[in-house]
Amino acid sequence: MPRNHLLVVDDEVSILATLKKVLSLEGYSVDVAGGVAVALEKMDRCSYDLALLDVALPDGNGVELLEKWRALGHTLPVLMMSGHASVDIAVRATKLGATDFLEKPLNTDRLLLLIKNTLRLVRAEAEAHALRCQTGVSSDLIGDSKVMLALRDQITRCARAQATVIVRGERGTGKELVARAIHAQSKRADGPLEKLNCAAVPNELIESELFGHEAGAFTGATKQRRGKFERASGGTLFLDEVGDMPLSMQAKLLRVLQERELERVGGDDTIRIDVRVVAATNRNLEEACESGEFRPDLYDRLNVLPLDIPPLRARRDDIPILSRHFLDVARGINERPAMTFSDGAVRALTEYNFPGNVRELRNLVERLVILTPGDTIDEHAVARCLGLGHAKTASGVYRPGTPFRLLVEDCERSILDEAIRHHGGQMASTARALGLERSHLYKKCKALGLRESKTNIGEDSAN
């Protein structure tokens, strides 16, 4: 491994000499600078892996120097050292991305450990970044549990093949992410990726969505329109919630998958298609076949390469890393850069069952970032947040400090939750009773992270 190159900036000659000796003995190559001007010059000429930076310098101060480096685009990790740093200075340095603050006199063991850990972290991040660039979207799939490693492997193998893939998993497990990763790693990656959510499109429109239509094919079809299959030509068509496709449409889809050609609605021309289909479902399609809700012949067609994503509770090892990932994202969006989880919070998250899987975890973390006043999210905050979003009456919904959007979502969630329960989980009758389109109810439930119940297709087609 190449030697790491460090820069030490301090005004005291004796400190520079000691640090140079200690760090060189540890195998680092070390440069020193006695002030801001020299440090700027050295940084200009050389590239360093890490800098140790004193606060009080003869020609300026360390925080200003750090500010200049950052402005010049130097992203290296910086450890600040000071005998008497004020909170103010520490805050400024942290905002500029200083990794840590060391009290003088320096404890050599602690210093060496900190340098080692910091360099290791930076290296790991660089490697992860390189991997992301190499493999495209797939590394956006966070998690390093055995299950996830096996899943990544399967994704790569499915991507190489041309056959239809069916991604199976509970809601919120990452089926769409996996489908996108398969496309991104396939030979079709430069082609389009089109998606159709079979549960969200009203039954009477699904055929024209998939196959397109000619002008005048039906009321409202004023212009010719290409469907998803044609748009996905040369690429991948992602059929989400394929288990919710109406039976009549299943027969037509089967034909297209077999013949590799289609006619637009209201048209006679046969159009050849060059599309790879990736389907996803959170329903047990074998059961659906047995109960007559899904065509077994279509199931066989789709089930060439099945890919199962286990629920989050079956891979709890992934929860800490996923939580931190979502925290990073939410910190950025909500401009709360200093937020962290306490160990207790991570433990509480790891113990929770997450019926809504990764999506529920993501929403929970976003909520925690918005609702937690301080910089540390502890186990109490997690427990409080897990209690939210459940049954709530119309009065007492106002919580000072909670954004309007979240309050409204909480109300919507409890209304839909109650309504679905009242109708024994039947989405079609719930939708009817609420005066909503079934597809709209589905979308709403999904957006709110609500469990959608098994749909009774017979009932739906009467809808």
Residues engaged in binding ligand ATP (CB under 6 A): 141-143, 169, 171-177, 282, 322, 358-359, 362, 446
Kindly give the residue spans of alpha helices, DSSP state H, lying in 136-192. Answer: 146-160, 175-185
**Could you give the maximum distance between any two Cα atoms of the chain, in Å?**
89
* Smallest gap from residue 83 Cβ to ligand ATP (A): 44
Instruction: Collect all residues with Cβ–Cβ distance below 8 Å to 80 and sequence separation of at least 6.
Output: 53, 54, 55, 62, 63, 66, 90, 93, 98, 100, 101, 102
Write the burial class of residue 112 (CB in 10 Å: 0-12 exposed, 13-18 middle, 19+ buried). middle
Q: Tell me the two tokens of residue 400.
A: 């000072």
177's contact among Mg ion, ligand ATP, none, with CB below 5 to 8 A by partner kind, is ligand ATP
The binder of 246, among ligand ATP, Mg ion, none, by C-beta within 5 to 8 A per type, is none
Nearest approach, Cβ of 439 to ligand ATP (angstroms)?
14
Q: How far is the CB of 425 from ligand ATP (least distance, A)?
A: 16
User: 81 phi and psi, to 5 degrees?
Assistant: -130, 140
The one-letter code for the residue type at 243 is: G
Out of ligand ATP, Mg ion, none, what residue 173 binds, judged by CB under 5 to 8 A for its kind, is ligand ATP
User: Contact region for Mg ion (CB under 5 A) — 175-183, 253-261, 285-293, 303-311?
Assistant: 175-183
459 lies in the site for Mg ion, by CB under 5 A: no
d(CA 37, CA 60): 9
Contact code string over 119-158 relative to Mg ion, x by CB under 5 A: ----------------------------------------
Picked from Mg ion, ligand ATP, none, the partner binding residue 276 (CB below 5 to 8 A depending on kind) is: none
Tell me the C-alpha distance between 341 and 330, whole Å: 13
User: Which residues between 311 and 370 bind Mg ion (CB under 5 A)?
Assistant: none
- Rg of the chain over Cα atoms, rounded to whole angstroms, equals 28
Length of the chain, in residues: 463
Q: Show the tokens assigned to 339.
A: 């937020």
Nearer to ligand ATP, 140 or 263 (CB): 140
Dist CA 313 CA 353 (whole Å): 6
Cα separation of 440 and 179, whole Å? Answer: 23
DSSP 303: T
* Segment interacting with Mg ion (CB under 5 A) among 90-98, 173-181, 182-190, 352-360: 173-181
Q: By CB under 5 A, is residue 446 in contact with Mg ion?
A: no
Strand, coil or helix: 454? coil
263 is a contact residue toward Mg ion (CB under 5 A):
no
Smallest separation (angstroms) from Mg ion to the CB of 175: 5
Task: Choose which of 11, 64, 67, 176 interacts with Mg ion (CB under 5 A).
Answer: 176
Total interface residues for Mg ion by CB under 5 A: 2
For residue 416, the minimal CB distance to ligand ATP (Å) is: 15
Binding residues vs Mg ion (CB under 5 A) = 175-176
